[in-house]
Structure 1
Amino acid sequence: MAKKLKALAAGTGGEGNEKALAKTIKDSAYQIWLAGLGAFAKAQEEGTKVFEALVKEGESVQKRTKKVAEDTVNEARKTATGTWDKLESVFEDRVARALASLNVPTRKDIDALSARVHDLTSATKKLSGTVTAETTKTAKGLKASAKKVAKSATAVKDEAAEVMSASVKIASDETAKVVKMARDETAKVVEDVKKRVVG
């Protein structure tokens, strides 16, 4: 095509030559236009194929990434659960040691004291019942004995009340100490865990 144009342009400047040159240029422009359209269609066709291939590749990458993310989350969840279990164990051990070092009564000790108070209360009721029965049988002869038994019952009742009051006070005081120690120990454990996790 370029050779034809050069040959026509090099020829004599007649009117027929100019028309031939114009026709050749027009034909060349038309062929260039068609070649451009063909290239555009080819690019569009190939572009669609490339686009579809990229979409498939993207889906594949997304599946792999999702699987890796799920595995990572599951592993992190297992690690966190293990860490919390260890933290709970450390906390319970420290609180138990702190309570033991302060001689704080345990639940078992408090239950034993409650049982003792219950026994004393039962004994007091029995003695009161005995005193009442004895006094009705022999009011004159047993009046002095009844007073002694009543005093004993009152003393036992007072002793039970004192034991109960002392137990409540001890439990209240010790509970306040335990709460403070538990807060302090919790702060220490949290700091230890932060250091381990961050460090």
Structure 2
Amino acid sequence: MVKKLNKMASKAKAAPANQIASAVKDSAETILRAGQGAFAKVQTEGQKVLETLVREGMAMQKKGQRAAEDKVTEMTTKMNRVASDITSQANTTWDKLETVFEDRVARALNKLGVPTNRDIELLTKRVEQLTAQLAKLGGKPVAVVKTSAKPVAKAAAKKAPAKKLASKKPAAKKAA
């Protein structure tokens, strides 16, 4: 369009004013018709374009919402994994600490001469065996003979756990 006007302007210098006015009028009419055609097209297709834009906007919103939900799910999964790992590590550490504590307490009790549950069970079985043998022989109770476990007996008698031990021994004493 601009080229056409430039050509007309160069011709206008050589042509009379009447021809210039006619060319300008033709150009203005062409522009006016183009504008009217665009306006008519917008009126007829404008609603369609608007509906299309609304649909595309809703699709974009849904896509964004899905992406956000996926990220939230992904982050929740990662956080659950991390929490599980930390819990597992804490439990493992706690178990190790508990084992170390139990071992140290057992060593300390052993140094003090406190018998273990196993020692008490073995002694109880032995007393039961001896009681059974005594009953077979005629049944008179015999005085208890001291053995080499003298520090154990003294330490057990002085300690609070000895009361627990004493509560386990009456079953054997009743039979004697």
- Per the normalisation by structure 2, the TM-score is 0.48
Q: Higher relative CO (CA 8 A, sep ≥ 6), structure 1 or 2?
A: 1
- Per the normalisation by structure 1, the TM-score is 0.43
Higher helix share: 1
